[in-house]
Amino acid sequence: MAVEANSLDGNGKVCRIIRIGTRKSQLARIQTDSVADKLKELYPDVHLEIVAMSTTGDKILDTALSKIGEKSLFTKELENALEMNEVDLVVHSLKDLPTALPPGFTIGAVLKRENPNDAVVLHQKHVGRTLDTLPENSVIGTSSLRRAAQLKKRFPHLEFKDIRGNLNTRLKKLDEKEDFAAIILAAAGLRRMGWENRISQTLEPGDCMYAVGQGALAVEVRAKDTDILEMVSVLHDPDTVLRCIAERAFLKRLEGGCSVPVAVHTEVKDSQLYLTGAVYSLDGSDSLKDTMQTSITAADKSLEEVDERVQRVGVTATKISGEVKARAERLGVDLADLLLSKGAKEILMVARQLNDTR
């Protein structure tokens, strides 16, 4: 491992130093600290150092994410540091990671998912209301085409406008001005920040399906660093891994990203993995949605411990059955193919073109 470093602890014992890269925002630091705490518990002899940095997405705050056109807005600088051996692993929100990672990198851990749904945070003068009961033409802030497309159709009496910035900035914009009646944020981020009391309404999948990977944390490593890969692999949550492989495979097959409205909902129930996926026009008037399922029980139990290093949509999970991971990936591809056969490509192409001209 190129950046391997050691230091002496207070007892004169040699400690291995592992450097963890993260974005500078408060939420990113909280998420990274939670991963560091888990690693420290599992590997008490390892010394962890956190290296925080700003990404392109953190710096460009006056443009909607979907307009910037860069797939790795919140990850590029962190991956550069990983490539240059300045850090050994990077903690991301999985939804920020493109479905195809740069060569030489892999997702070595996907942690147990927090609630993946979106949440409504109301301006104080509207406390007690819901999206349904807000006055006509109330303005809702969201920087997500996916959220806006679904909610425009579901709540036609509301208006939707872009709002950028990290969680703290967006809440400040809501609270200190009267530009927005409410903003839509990921429930997971609010919960991790300890701000659950700000959640006025959690949007169930019937109102607004979530983004691919939303609510899950990912640890990205250099694929060749087998020792680091082994170290972080114990953080994998099997159900979350399978759900997110299916979601990422669906998005990859559709060639979707920030610039098109694609949404998902997954569930593991009775050894079955269910994936619902949808694509939308920008105003939500045109959409395609369907659900498929697959078994996630390995036919041969001996396969469950196979040390298999095949990446599936960027994820390496050596202790989860290769057969089951292949089924989860195939589920995502098959559902995308079903929607493509019904006209999803045309819907997304028009959405992309309209977004480019906005």
**CA–CA separation, 74 and 71 (whole Å):** 9
Contact, 172 vs 68, CB < 8 A? no
**CA–CA separation, 318 and 201 (whole Å):** 38
Q: What is the DSSP string of 135-162?
A: PTT-EEE---HHHHHHHHHH-TT-EEE-
Q: Checking phi first, is residue 52 left (phi over 0); if not, alpha (psi -120 to 50) or beta?
A: beta
Task: Give bridge partners of residue 158 from the DSSP assignment.
Answer: none
Contact, 279 vs 261, CB < 8 A? yes
What DSSP designation does 114 have? P
Catalytic residue (one of 9, 37, 88, 96)? 96
Residue 325, token pair as written in the block:
């991971």
User: What are the residues whose beta carbons fall under 8 Å from the beta carbon of 303, sequence distance 6 or more?
Assistant: 321, 322, 323
Q: Name the residue with tokens 């963890």.
A: 20
CB-CB neighbours of 237 under 10 Å: 17
- Residue 96: active-site member: yes
**CA–CA separation, 34 and 42 (whole Å):** 13
Contact, 148 vs 142, CB < 8 A? yes
- Between strands 272-280 and 287-295, the pairing is antiparallel
Q: Measuring CA to CA, which residue among 23, 94, 75, 85 is closest to residue 236?
A: 94
**CA–CA separation, 274 and 334 (whole Å):** 12
Task: Give bridge partners of residue 106 from the DSSP assignment.
Answer: 221
Q: Please identify every residue annotated as catalytic.
A: 96
